[in-house]
């Protein structure tokens, strides 16, 4: 009994002692939160960059009153910055070149001893920097508005936690349900047409009350909108493109965000967005009537005489009332945008970026942004949207431009709205000394101004302009002539989805909702299916076949990609252009005559095609280049010295 009593006393002692230790552990653990905070962005990073610094945006209640620490070999906190709001910290890290990939905790210690931790990951890079090869003049890019292309998964059409839940295909400005998976599902169709890259308009979260389908009012720069799919589906799209030898171009926006962006409810600094004080003081009555919008005077970027107030009006005004203008002169915002772009390049293995509204942000920042990306990815490509018809303005933004003000853009490519319009005018106007085909001739003559004409992007239409078929008054022959011209010019080529089947917006020309019409066959139950050809009219099928033959030849044509360009002034309603490399000459003949006309080929003797057999790229027919050539009908003739037997 005595031994039993001693044993019981011993068990009680152990139990009490263990309880005391457990209570102590619980008390210690109660001071430490879970391993994730509200936001840490970028959400992860990689080792092996040339720039070994990283700035983390940390968002958590009262996090500004904490001190962060990291214990991970090769990762050091260089500096910590507090925001105006106590709910932000910006943490500057140095990542040594010897640092290994892995996960580690960032511990945030508050004055009362409580701690919050966040587990962060540094990943190994899956691709070498040189393997990120961008788009160039050998590419034909298929531009897609994802919501209007194909709906592969109707289950992701609606999410009750998002502000716009209605899906209505009969309404031009509501969501229609197209998604990323719908694009992936039809990549073989796109490749078969001869395209080598796709550019979907933005698919990041756009939690706006209306008009969210287009994606340009982003409310989260690191999240895929669930109505388009998941990050994994976005990655799969990129992977499937790579398998087909194709590229993914991401549409990014550095100029603005959506009014419902999460940070607009708690801005980190007093100058995080432009006109912030005015917005905060008028938030309750905010509308298109109260907003200080951009004056859209983009020429202030180049104008030697521009007033400061006009310059400020372009850069600092909001694009529209629902799109706050980001202040890239704030160094934390600047760093945030640059790191976000790099994060997406690395995450998706991108083949390029299209940057929206390029002349609206501070141009010094845009040059810095491009430089930071190209420093890490020297073979990458970026195209900036410069909606101007003036070659002087278009060329100003291209790398290598000899600008009088000394501005160095670093940007490889800009968009050629000027030449796009020239081709349309050339085909719509009656022929005269200064109208008609001379618009193409004189438009190309402006190429002397460009640092690299072949690195400029040309297009027949896009998501903001009327369909080319509508621009050309629903003239099929003129539409083929335009498409052929754009495809042969010394440019990068981009075509909007549906151009290949003569989609139009003729009922309300220029109406954005109508321009972005659903692609037939992208939804279950569609009576017309352009993917299979079912239900297409004869002229739509003919245009689709024409596009396929044109682009598939272009895909392998060195003459079109990099060849010398020689053209001859229009004569009697006929314009002739040559693209030339060794062993290949491509001839474009545009004929606006309704009746047969014979042209004298001796005029083109300097090209050296006498007695050469050429093949019609579209029809396959062959002809011999002799003294003359009779053109029996209006249209385009595309010939090559390369022949398919």
Instruction: List, in order, residues 6 or more apart from 8 with CB less than 8 Å away.
Output: none
The CA distance from 433 to 425, in Å, is 14
Token pair of 518 as six digits: 């659903």
The CA distance from 109 to 115, in Å, is 4
The CA distance from 76 to 94, in Å, is 5
Please confirm, yes or no, whether 504 is among the known catalytic residues.
Answer: no
Of residues 237, 251, 244, 213, the one with CA closest to residue 494: 251
The CA distance from 456 to 136, in Å, is 9
First-to-last C-alpha distance (Å) of the chain = 108
136, 164, 385, 416: which one is catalytic? 385
SS3 string of 294-324? CCCCHHHHCCCCCCHHHHHHHHHCECECCEC
Determine whether 338 is exposed, middle or buried from the number of CB atoms within 10 Å of its CB (0-12, 13-18, 19+).
buried
- The DSSP output letter for 276 is H
The CA distance from 86 to 66, in Å, is 10
- The DSSP output letter for 50 is S
60, 181, 260, 356: which one is catalytic? 356
Cβ atoms of 496 and 479 within 8 Å: the answer is no
Antiparallel, parallel or unpaired: β 584-591 and 635-640: antiparallel
Please confirm, yes or no, whether 23 is among the known catalytic residues.
Answer: no
With H, G, I as helix, E, B as strand and everything else as coil, classify residue 502.
coil
Antiparallel, parallel or unpaired: β 102-110 and 115-123: antiparallel
Q: Within a 10 A sphere around the Cβ of 611, how many other Cβ atoms?
A: 7
Measured N-to-C along each axis, helices 417-428 and 438-445 cross at an angle, to the nearest 10 degrees, of 160
Residue in the block written with tokens 């027949």: 460
Cβ atoms of 628 and 601 within 8 Å: the answer is yes
Residue in the block written with tokens 């007033």: 307
Helices (H) and strands (E) in the chain, counts: 16, 24
Q: Where in the sequence numbering do the catalytic residues fall?
A: 356, 385
């Amino acid at each position: 009994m005595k031994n039993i009593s001693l044993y019981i006393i011993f068990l009680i002692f152990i139990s009490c002692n263990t309880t005391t230790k457990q209570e102590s552990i619980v008390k210690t653990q109660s001071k430490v939160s879970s391993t994730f905070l509200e936001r840490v962005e970028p959400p992860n990073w990689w080792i092996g960059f040339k720039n070994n610094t990283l700035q983390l945006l940390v968002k958590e209640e009262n996090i500004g009153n904490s001190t962060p620490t990291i214990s991970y070999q090769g990762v050091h906190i260089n500096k910590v910055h507090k925001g105006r709001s106590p709910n932000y910290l910006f943490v500057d890290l140095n990542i040594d070149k010897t640092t290994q990939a892995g996960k580690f905790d960032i511990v945030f210690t508050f004055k009362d001893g409580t701690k919050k931790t966040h587990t962060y990951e540094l990943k190994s890079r899956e691709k070498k920097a040189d393997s990120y090869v961008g788009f160039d003049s050998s590419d034909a890019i298929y531009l897609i508005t994802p919501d209007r292309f194909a709906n592969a998964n109707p289950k992701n059409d609606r999410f009750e936690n998002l502000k716009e839940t209605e899906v209505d295909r009969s309404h031009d400005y509501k969501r229609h349900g197209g998604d990323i998976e719908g694009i992936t599902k039809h990549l073989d169709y796109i490749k078969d047409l001869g395209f080598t890259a796709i550019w979907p308009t933005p698919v990041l979260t756009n939690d706006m009350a209306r008009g969210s389908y287009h994606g340009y009012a982003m409310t989260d720069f690191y999240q895929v909108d669930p109505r388009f799919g998941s990050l994994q589906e976005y990655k799969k799209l990129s992977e499937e493109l790579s398998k087909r030898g194709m590229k993914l171009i991401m549409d990014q926006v550095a100029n603005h965000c959506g009014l419902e962006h999460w940070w607009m409810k708690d801005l980190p600094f007093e100058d995080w967005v432009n006109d912030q004080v005015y917005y905060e003081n008028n938030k309750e009555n905010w509308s298109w009537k109260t907003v200080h919008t951009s004056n859209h005077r983009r020429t202030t970027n180049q104008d030697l005489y521009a007033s400061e107030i006009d310059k400020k009006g372009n850069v600092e005004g909001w694009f529209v009332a629902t799109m706050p203008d980001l202040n890239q002169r704030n160094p934390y915002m600047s760093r945030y945008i640059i790191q976000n772009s790099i994060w997406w390049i690395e995450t998706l293995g991108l083949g390029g970026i299209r940057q929206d509204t390029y002349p609206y942000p501070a141009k010094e920042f845009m040059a810095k942004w491009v430089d930071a990306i190209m420093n890490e990815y020297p073979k990458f490509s970026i195209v900036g949207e410069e909606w101007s018809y003036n070659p002087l303005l278009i060329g100003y933004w291209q790398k290598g431009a000899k600008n009088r003000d000394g501005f160095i853009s670093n940007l490889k490519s800009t968009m050629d709205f000027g030449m796009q319009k020239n081709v349309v005018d050339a085909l719509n106007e009656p022929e005269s000394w200064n109208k008609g085909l001379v618009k193409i001739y004189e438009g190309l003559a402006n190429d002397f101004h460009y640092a690299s004409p072949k690195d400029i992007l040309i297009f027949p239409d896009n998501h903001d302009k009327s369909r080319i078929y509508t621009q050309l008054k629903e003239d099929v022959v003129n539409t083929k002539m335009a498409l052929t011209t754009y495809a042969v010019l010394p440019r990068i080529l981009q075509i909007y989805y549906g151009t290949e089947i003569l989609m139009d917006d003729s009922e309300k020309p220029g109406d954005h909702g109508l321009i972005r019409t659903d692609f037939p066959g992208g939804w279950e139950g569609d009576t017309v299916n352009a993917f299979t050809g079912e239900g297409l009219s004869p002229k739509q099928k003919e245009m689709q076949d024409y596009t396929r033959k044109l682009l598939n030849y272009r895909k392998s044509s060195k003459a079109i990609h990099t060849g010398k360009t020689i053209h001859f002034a229009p004569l009697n309603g006929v314009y002739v252009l040559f693209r030339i490399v060794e062993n290949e000459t491509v001839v474009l003949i545009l004929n606006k005559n309704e009746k047969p006309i014979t042209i004298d080929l001796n005029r083109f003797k300097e090209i050296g095609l006498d007695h050469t057999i050429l093949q019609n790229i579209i029809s396959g027919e062959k002809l011999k280049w002799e003294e003359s050539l009779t053109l029996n009908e209006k249209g385009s003739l595309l010939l090559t010295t390369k022949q398919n037997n």
